Structure 1
Amino acid sequence: MKRLKHETLSIRTSADIKQLVKLAAAREHRSVASMIEVLILAYAQGHGLEAVPDAPVNAGERKKRHGTD
């Protein structure tokens, strides 16, 4: 199932981690963004995590989404 992409995620990481994710992506013939998605989905599946649509992740997210800031 193709996922619609409406969110942006930016991270800061070390040069080593960046190099590793680039190497993994190249090995799988994927973009870095696609590789990160695959890794997160595999982790979630292996640990019994499931996304719930529109569920806030933390109080900060809830405030942003509902304008109670």
Structure 2
Amino acid sequence: MSSAKTATLMLRLDPAVKRGLQAIAAREHRSLSNMIEVLIRDGCRRHGVSVSASCAAAPSADALPDRACWQPEPSTPAGDSR
């Protein structure tokens, strides 16, 4: 487990969505918080957004992250099936 500090994100979900997330988390033996992080990281990866640990340190909760960390990753050429 990483020793880096984590940021807090408060969000509201439809109760049915929360139950679905809890079911997925239970199947994967994860906490709800960890399951949400895994899904967000997967979504970012699929959209070509890097969320590396070195980009996580922002001076405050309201500060914008360094743009270099949040640039879309280069797209793969057509026919390249990574």
TM (normalized to structure 1)?
A: 0.69
- 1:37 to 1:46, Cα distance in 2 relative to 1, 3 A: same
Q: In structure 2, what is the equivalent of residue 41 of structure 1?
A: 41
Higher helix share: 1
Q: Which runs of 4+ in 1 moved over 6 A?
A: none
Aligned-residue Cα RMSD (Å) equals 2.7
Higher RCO (Cα < 8 Å, 6 or more apart)? 2
Paired amino acid for 2:5: K
Aligned length: 60
Q: How does 1:1-40 map to 2 (within 5 A)?
A: 2=2, 4-40=4-40
For residues 12-54 of structure 1, give each alpha carbon's deviation from its aligned partner in whole angstroms, at most 9, with x where no partner exists. 1111111011001001000000000100111111110024443
- 1:7 is aligned with what amino acid? A
In structure 1, stretches of 5+ residues that fail to align are 63-69
